[in-house]
Structures are given as C-alpha cells and as structure tokens.
C-alpha cells in the first residue's frame, strides 16, 4: 500500500531550470526527484513542493510530499536519495506523513532570504549565492521601503504572473535586515508569495536605497496594481527558500 511521505530538501539552484518539471528539459529539481523515486519504487511517483522556485534560486528548507509503495524505512529512503541525487541536491529528512498532508496545500507560511553584495568588487567564492548591487545604498531609505511592504496588501504590482483570476493579496509579517560587512541580508516572512514577488520587492527596496525611487513610491505601486510601478526583478542567485511553516 502506498504511503504518504514528507521530506525536507536543500539545493543549489544555479544549474537547474527551476523546480517545476518541463517537457523540454529533464534538468529540473522536480524532474530529478521524480525520476529517482520512480526508479526506487518501481512505479510512477509524483512529487509536490511547498512552492516552485525559479531557475537559479536556492533552497535550505524546501518541503516536498510524495506517495510511494516501498519496503524501505523513511531513513532508508533518505539515504537512497542522497546516494543517487546530484551533489547540489540533498535530502535532510524523510518521514511518514498523514494521509492528507500536501506540501503546498497545507503550507501556512514561508521564509525567504535574499543576499546582496553592495560592492563593485565581485564575490568570487559566493557568486552563485549572492547578487551584486554596486550602487551605494542608504540604510534609512532601505528600511523605510521595507516597512511599507510589511502588512497585508494587494501585491498585484509585485508579481510577473499574468493570472488575474487568483487573489494577489498576501501578508508579509516581517522583513529583517542584517548587515555583515558589505553584504546585506534580507529575510522575508509571509503567509505566501506570488511568482517573482520577493525578487520584485527586493528590486524596489534596492531602487529606494540607491535613490532611484522614493520609499513612498511603494504605496503608489500598491494603489496602481501595475507591474511597471514596482522595482526591477532582482537576480535569482541572491534568493533562497529558508523554511516552510505548517500548522
């Protein structure tokens, strides 16, 4: 009988075409996992994630769920996956989940981190994990823009998605900034995030911090609901999914 499993993954997304499997390529995280688990179980296994990460985006705590029939224990499944997955994908934990558990549908919140190197000098050894923004940033303007993004808003202007049938209202509980030398680390905690939402919020924050827009323009973007009123799409490599919350 098929059992339902929950697993926590880490991956460096640099060389993958994002999370979601595609007909045109087998170079996706979901594709790699489904191929491996289907081989392990001798049946077609479908893997669901808490959310789809874009090409080049990383994860420290992506959550997946899948059903399969196997004699292996949860720990043996984890060890099998780590034996055969590429070196830039790792499984931290596998455990049996309740029958109704679904990694995406049951998620109640997420934490993303975005790393910015505010320097004209490249960061050679972490170039895949940080985005370089060379223009000087004013911390006060950065924090003012951050504060305006916190709360419950219609984030229609902060997504690249053209799907207007689904609600674009989300709640950002907190945006935390930590500075470590020339690196600025932004941590976003919210009940859910739209397609490209964190990267567009980051582009907006960086534009405010470098004087290209006012912090007050965040409110104008919310009111307009127009993508062009928000900031640029910040590079993928600075973004990582850190944690997913469930009740």
Residues catalogued as catalytic: 54
Q: Give the burial class of 85: count Cβ atoms within 10 A of its Cβ; 0-12 exposed, 13-18 middle, 19 or more buried.
A: middle
9 and 92 Cβ atoms separated by less than 8 Å? yes
Among 76, 27, 20, 67, which Cα is nearest to 44's? 67
How far, in whole angstroms, is CA 179 from its chain's centroid?
21
Please tell me the distance from the alpha carbon of residue 141 to that of residue 110, in angstroms, as a whole number: 25
> At a CB cut-off of 8 Å and minimum separation 6, what does 108 contact?
191, 245, 246, 247
């Amino acid at each position: 009988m098929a059992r339902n499993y929950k697993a926590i993954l880490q991956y460096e997304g640099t060389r993958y075409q994002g999370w979601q499997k595609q007909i045109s390529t087998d170079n996706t995280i979901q594709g790699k996992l489904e191929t491996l688990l289907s081989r392990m179980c001798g049946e077609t296994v479908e893997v669901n994630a808490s959310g789809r990460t874009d090409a080049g985006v990383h994860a420290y705590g992506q959550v997946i769920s899948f059903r399969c029939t196997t004699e292996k224990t949860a720990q043996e499944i984890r060890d099998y996956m780590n034996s055969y997955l590429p070196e830039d994908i790792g499984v931290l934990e596998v455990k049996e989940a309740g029958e109704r558990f679904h990694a995406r549908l049951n998620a109640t919140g997420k934490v993303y981190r975005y790393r910015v190197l505010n320097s004209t000098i490249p960061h050679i050894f972490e170039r895949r994990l940080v985005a370089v923004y060379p223009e000087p940033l004013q911390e006060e303007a950065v924090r003012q823009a951050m504060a305006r993004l916190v709360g419950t808003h219609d984030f229609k202007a902060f997504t690249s998605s053209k799907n207007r049938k689904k609600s674009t209202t989300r709640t950002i509980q907190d945006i935390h900034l930590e500075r470590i030398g020339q690196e600025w680390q932004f941590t976003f905690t919210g009940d859910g995030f739209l397609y490209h939402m964190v990267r567009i919020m980051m582009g907006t924050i960086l534009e405010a911090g470098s004087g290209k827009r006012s912090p007050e323009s965040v409110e104008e973007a919310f009111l307009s609901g127009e993508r062009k009123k928000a900031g640029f799409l910040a590079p993928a490599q600075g973004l990582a999914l850190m944690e997913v919350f469930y009740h």
